[in-house]
Amino acid sequence: MVRIAEIESGSIADELSLEIGSRVVRINGERVRDGIDLTFMLSDTDLEIETLSPGGETTIYEIEREPGEVVGIVPAPDTIRECANKCVFCFIDGNPEGARQTLWLRDDDFRLSFTYGSYVTLTNLGPKGLQRLVDQRISPLYVSVHATEPDVRRRLLVNERAGLIMDQLRSLIDGGLEVHTQIVLCPEWNDGVHLDRTIEDLWSLGSSIRSLSVVPVGLTRYNLNRPVRQLEAHEADEAIDRVDAARARALDERALGWCYAADEMYLIAGREIPDARYYDDGALYENGVGAVRRFVDGFKNGVRDTPRYDDARIRLVTGGSMAPFIRDLAPALHDVTGAQVEVVHAVNHYFGETVTIAGLLGGEDILAALGPCTEQDVIVLPAEALNADDVFIDNVALADFRSRVGGACVLTGYEITEALRAKPA
């Protein structure tokens, strides 16, 4: 059943006086399992909707509607389908004690994969679950493969069902679905010849495997070497070479790169970040593939429109991964704004120094890196370090942060130039 969270004003559901809090039980005799089911079933023009009120009363509504006419039922969020694996590199094991509750959720939900591009392992789906994906055209999906050799994948995910991945992917592809895939590369686990095998196996499935991202394992001080270690520079370098070999074939045979090494792989290897052509349509930015290039190019395109900040000190907060790039860009920002520009590299003590991305910086670590602030300071925070409630990952609220920086102006944005264009009056 799906609970009704809202009714759109002026819609069919509003005219029928459907009650918020009621549950949609069946549509046209079929059980409604979740919001995806609801959306799929409401596409029919002739509907018989069975609801259960908060008081326990069953009501059946018969609806005939024109194509495109909105029913107007807004469902409550579904309960998240949790992960059945015990991955040797699980991010949950890297959380500090007392981390916010949402960080402990072991999600592995195909609905989040379809709607938000989250990567799932498919280990919690049996034949009926896979068939549902096909029947409802849940495509494209984003799947964490990690390894195609059954024994290697079972060892990584600590789940006997993990060895079924190739059969599962074939089932989805035969049903007409498309899939983006990824490998979280763990040294001495799924690299080297295992990486070659995974690339080859996924390529052999054809063009319905739309992409393969190779991402280095990310570890905190809480799960480092327990049992997985980080990639060393020469290992990242070797992995990029293997990816490049796959790309050469893909470009020759399918006219697109197909296989991509994540930005962090280049940073570990000490290699230059590729130019924009490497990333084709840029669909994998959220998976750390091309985000650095997009940031650098976006800065160069936007800096000319940045307003003056004469007599100010602009303090650009970032983590270790982006600090060198922002230092290279800082002189151009000084020339346009007239401000003194400082790059503030905040070391991540909350998760440990192995974590260098700006999105996982805590408020306390940023405050420590900033030190004393004045009213002449303009502090630019990375927007990805804050959640939808404007709270840092260590539960420091942005409002509290502002109160602790001595009257300094605090701006935030996904692009530095975007944040500075929001200059206060």
CA 221 to chain CA centroid, nearest Å:
22
- Of the candidates 316, 289, 273, 265, the one whose C-alpha atom is nearest the C-alpha of residue 210 is 289
User: What are the two backbone dihedrals, phi and then psi, of residue 46, each rounded to the nearest 5 degrees?
Assistant: -105, 120
Q: Which residues contact 190 (CB under 8 A, 6 or more apart)?
A: 146, 147, 152, 156, 183, 198
Q: Which residues contact 361 (CB under 8 A, 6 or more apart)?
A: 317, 319, 346, 348, 350, 382, 385, 392, 393
- Of the candidates 26, 29, 6, 28, the one whose C-alpha atom is nearest the C-alpha of residue 18 is 6
pLDDT of residue 102: 83
Intervals of CATH 3.40.50 along the chain: 298-421
CATH code that applies to domain 298-421: 3.40.50
Intervals of CATH 3.80.30.10 along the chain: 91-289
pLDDT of residue 103: 87
CA 380 to chain CA centroid, nearest Å:
23
DSSP 256: S
pLDDT of residue 424: 81
Intervals of CATH 2.30.42.10 along the chain: 2-75
- What's the Cα-to-Cα distance from 171 to each of 118, 122, 204, rounded to whole Å? 20, 12, 14
C-alpha 175/C-alpha 192 separation (Å) is: 32
pLDDT of residue 99: 87
CATH code that applies to domain 91-289: 3.80.30.10
417, β-bridge pairs: none
Q: Which residues contact 204 (CB under 8 A, 6 or more apart)?
A: none
Q: Is 381 helix (H, G, I), strand (E, B) or coil?
A: strand
CATH code that applies to domain 2-75: 2.30.42.10
382, β-bridge pairs: 413
In this structure, the chain runs to a length of: 425
Q: Where are the beta strands (DSSP E) in 238-311?
A: 259-261
Q: Which residues contact 69 (CB under 8 A, 6 or more apart)?
A: 12
Two tokens, residue 318: 């970032």
The Cα angle at residue 307 between residues 301 and 309, in degrees rounded to 5: 125
pTM: 0.92
pLDDT digits (tens), the chain, 425 positions: 999 999 999 999 999 999 999 999 999 999 999 999 999 999 999 999 999 999 999 999 999 999 889 999 999 999 999 999 999 999 899 999 888 888 888 899 999 888 889 999 999 999 999 999 999 999 999 999 999 999 999 999 999 999 999 999 999 999 999 999 999 999 999 999 999 999 999 999 999 999 999 999 999 999 999 999 999 999 999 999 999 999 999 999 999 999 999 999 999 999 999 999 999 988 898 899 999 999 999 999 999 999 999 999 999 999 999 999 999 999 999 999 999 999 999 999 999 999 999 999 999 999 999 999 999 999 999 999 999 999 999 999 999 999 999 899 999 999 999 999 988 86
First to last CA, the chain: 51
